[in-house]
Every structure is written in structure tokens, then in C-alpha cells.
Amino acid sequence: MAQREEALEAPDKGKVFLILAAFFVVALMLMRRTSQDTAVQAQLLGLAFLVLPAFILAQADSKYLVPYLVFVWAIAPEVRRIIDWIQGGFYPQSYIAVAPIVATSSLAIPVFRQRIVVPVLLYKALASIALAVGYAGLVGYIRNETPAVFEFGGTVAPLLVLLYASGRPMEPKERDFWVLSIVYVALGVAAYGIIQYIFAPAWDTMWMRAAGRQIIAIGRPEPYEIRVFSTFGSPLQCSLFLLTALVPMLVEARWRKAVGFVGAGVIAYTLLLTITRTAWVAMVAGILAYVFVSRFGRRVQVLAAILLLGAGIWLALPYLPGYETVSERLTGMTNLSEDTSMTARTAILRTFWDTIVANPVGSGMGTYGVATRLAADPRRQNTGFDNGYIGLADSYGWFGLLMFLRGLWLLVRSVREYRLDPERDPFVRLSVAMMVAYAVYTGSAYGAGVFVLLLGISLPFGTPRLTREIQQDPLYLDAAQPLRPRRVPSAQAARIGRAR
């Protein structure tokens, strides 16, 4: 006889009160130690403002937990810049930088409140990725120390969303709500990106000047000269986040609910203003993957939506700000021999093979990127190959890169296991599209864009709402039980056995 899957235990108001009290006491202790440093106090208040709601929502098992985490990953860098601007200076090492990582760790509360039930292939995929991440983290800690710890946390925390989704009952309405949360947050990010491009807010330009990246990476700190990064810390992360929202909007009408093609056009326009060609290509690859795994009728609808949006942007773009910059970037894709960015990437690629041959072990986490700001030696800041697979190979080494890619392949296989379930099928197609987009993009193994991509990949996962009592479903593994599934006799069978 079938029985309903056990839900999470009812939230205890006493535990919520203890969480609030613990945060309050820690905040008081830290503020006493930093009573003369108003900048640190402001950072701690910002950190508490972003992190505390996540733990309350996690303890209450609220449906708003995942949407709130999407919001925190998107808004935290901008909150940091505004607080720095209010304080009158840029602080390279800010407590707010860890807010998304700490907030995402709240997923551990619902994950470990019940047994962790994951599909067999997902278990193997996570084990493979864990080997890669653990290896790179260990090598990085030996070589780079503190920066490696920061990058390790930023890589591990987003992976919790796979376990979180896998351990929850599969409710299509809840998964739709997760997708729509990405869309709505991305629409806000896109709207602010347009404001940033036109008006160049003071807190953003102050950060650009202080970070010393105003010309090459993110443009000039002037109106109509910024390479849009919106609320994020770089155009790469911003573009990855936006494409993750744009793909579902183009492939399913229900995922552009209330915003329609107008909202999709705003996001697409801001994506163009990031001037990140890799993201453009990744978005196209993700949509093509969705079309490839869909039925003929769905293919026609998706292609019609793409043509409609593309025609609208093509007609409107000459009248929008930034047309010259975007046009120049698009033209560069047809003449790569004279493209400065492609020339630089080609030069890096020439030295890539010699580097990994000379250092097959890898440099470990914390070798490049934002994490290097924590390095004790200023000469080691922002070093290394910050360039997609090249950067991964340099950090993870041969072994780590192979395990990481194996984990991605097993993720694809684990998602495809659900393709025959009509309730999960739309999420399977979207998950495959997300993974293809990530495989093409792969600008980083951590950060806001990666969290949202993993959330999209996790959509098909989840325990069935009805479970069999006679025999455990061989598709699943229970982390609290041996790997080999065992037959569980029913109560009636047990009584017959005792009677005999």
C-alpha cells in the first residue's frame, strides 16, 4: 500500500528565537570589539541584514527560501558598494562579500532535517564533483591559504541546492515558483543595469576607480561608457545570471508570466550591454539544446518566440543607448583576426599547454579572481588564467578537471532519467538547456551565476510524492542506508512470517 512521503518536521518557534538571539549576541560582541570602526560595524549590519532572513526561512521551511537566496546572490555586491560609498571609501576586504555564501549555507538546515535521498546517478555526480572540489581546495590551501578557503566556500555552498531539491517532494508549482523567482530578480537586475549604463551611479563609479579595473574589464566610470555589471561584481557574472533567466523565458510561456516579451526584451537588451560574447553564444546553445530534446510542436513555439524577440530587438536596437558599442562587438565576431579580445585569448591559449604540462597538480583554489584579494602578498592578487576552462585546468589540475567534467556528464545522465515523467519533463528539458549553456560558458566554478544555474539543473530532482512500501525504488539511494537497495517486508508479510 502506498503512503505519503514524510514531510519536514514542523518548524519550532523556539529554534527561530534561538537563531535570532544567537545572531544578536554575536553582533553585539563584534560591535564591542569594533566600537571605533564604523565601517566594520556597517559591514556587519549589512551582513546580518542579508543573512538572518535566510536562516529564519530555512528553519520555517518556507517556500520563499530559494527565491530569497537568488535575491541575495544578485544584490550583495551592490549592497557592499553602497555601504562603502556611504562610508566614503572602498574596502577590498568586506564582510558583506561572504553574505551569499553564509546565506546559502542555511540550506543545510532543511537538508539534514530529514534523510538525504538522492538519485543514484546524482549521488555519483556529486561524489565526482566533491573529489574535484576537495582536491583543488586542499592544494589551494597549501599554496594560497586564505583565498582558497573563500573560493572553496563559494564553490561548495551552491552545490547544496542540488541536495535541497533532491530531498524535497517534487511539486511542479514549487519548481515553477523557483524559475519565476529567477526571472523576476533578473528583470530587476536588468532594469538597474540600464540605469547604471545611462546615469553611472556614484557608488558604482567609486568602486570602478578604486578597484582599478575601469578601462579593460568594465569600461570607463562615465555615463554610456560602462560595460554593464549591474548589481554584480563583474560583467561575466551579470551576463551568466541574465542568460539563465532568459533561456526559460524564451522556451516556455508560463515562465514569462506577467512580464511577457517586454520583460524578456529588457533582459536581452541588458545582456547585450554586458558586452560578453561568450554569454550570447551560451544562451543560443542552451536554447538549441532545449529545442533538440523537445517535440516538434514545442520546437515550433520556441523558434517562433525567438524570432519574435530577435526581430523586436533588431528593430529597436539602433534607437537605444549603446547601439554603437554592441554593434562593434557583434562585428568583431565576424572578423576575429582583428579582434583585440580574441587576440588576447589566443595568446593565453598558446601558453596554456606549457603551463599545465609543467604543473599537472594544479595551482589550487584561490589562484585567481576575487578570492586573491585576501592574499597577504599584494603581488598575488588577480593572477592566473581567469579564462574559463583554462582557469579551471590551472586551478584544479589534471585530476580535478577530469573529475569536474565527469561530474557534469553524470549530472546530464541523472537528469535524463526523469524524461518519461510528464510532470518533470519540462524541467528536464530546461535542466539540459542550463547544463549546455554552462558547458559553453564555464567562466567560473563559483558565484551567483553558478548558483542560479545549479538551481535550474536541480529542477527535475525531488522525491516522488508517493513511495512504495514493498521495495525501495532502485533509482534512489538513501544516504543513511547501504548503497545496495534492500527489500523491506510489509507489516502483513511480517505477521505471516511470525505465524509460520
37-50 pLDDT, tens digit per residue, is 678 888 888 898 89
Pick the residue with more confidence: 472 or 463?
463
312-337 pLDDT, tens digit per residue, is 888 888 888 888 888 877 776 555 55
Q: Is 3 helix (H, G, I), strand (E, B) or coil?
A: strand
Residue range 125-137: average pLDDT? 92
Q: State how far the alpha carbon of 1 is from the alpha carbons of 222, 245, 469, in Å.
A: 68, 41, 6
Q: For the whole model, what pTM was predicted?
A: 0.83
Alpha-carbon radius of gyration of the chain: 24
User: Contact, 79 vs 50, CB < 8 A?
Assistant: yes
Task: Return the domain boundaries, the chain.
Answer: 116-499
Closest to 11 in 3D by CA, of 52, 47, 60: 60
All three cell numbers of 250, joined, read 524564451
Summary mean pLDDT of the chain: 80
- Rounded CA-CA distance 364/352 in Å is 16
Pick the residue with more confidence: 333 or 74?
74
Pick the residue with more confidence: 2 or 244?
244
Q: Is 298 helix (H, G, I), strand (E, B) or coil?
A: helix
pLDDT at 99 over 90: yes
Residue range 117-138: average pLDDT? 89
Q: What is the pLDDT of residue 467?
A: 46
Q: Which amino acid is at 405?
A: L
User: Contact, 288 vs 338, CB < 8 A?
Assistant: no
Q: What is the pLDDT of residue 482?
A: 45
Q: What is the pLDDT of residue 186?
A: 96
pLDDT at 213 over 90: no
Q: Name the pLDDT band for 188 (thresholds 50, 70, 90).
A: very high
Q: Is 80 helix (H, G, I), strand (E, B) or coil?
A: helix
Q: What is the pLDDT of residue 349?
A: 63
Best-predicted range by mean pLDDT (175-189, 200-214, 251-265, 274-288): 175-189
pLDDT at 440 over 80: yes
- Rounded CA-CA distance 30/22 in Å is 12
Residue range 100-120: average pLDDT? 86
327-381 pLDDT, tens digit per residue, is 877 776 555 555 555 565 666 666 666 777 778 888 888 877 665 555 555 555 5
441-459 pLDDT, tens digit per residue, is 865 667 777 898 889 989 9
pLDDT over 90, % of the chain: 33
Q: What is the pLDDT of residue 293?
A: 87
User: Contact, 227 vs 217, CB < 8 A?
Assistant: yes
Q: Name the pLDDT band for 486 (thresholds 50, 70, 90).
A: very low
Alpha-carbon dihedral 172, 175, 180, 182, rounded to 10 degrees = -160
Helices (H), 442-468: 448-457
Residue range 465-470: average pLDDT? 49
Q: State how far the alpha carbon of 138 is from the alpha carbons of 7, 13, 147, 307, 390, in Å.
A: 37, 39, 12, 48, 20
Residue range 82-107: average pLDDT? 90
pLDDT at 35 over 70: no
pLDDT at 436 over 60: yes
Q: State how far the alpha carbon of 102 is from the alpha carbons of 53, 397, 471, in Å.
A: 11, 27, 39
Q: Dmax over Cα atoms in the chain, in whole Å?
A: 86
Residue range 1-18: average pLDDT? 48
> What is the dihedral sign for C-alpha 212, 218, 221, 225?
positive
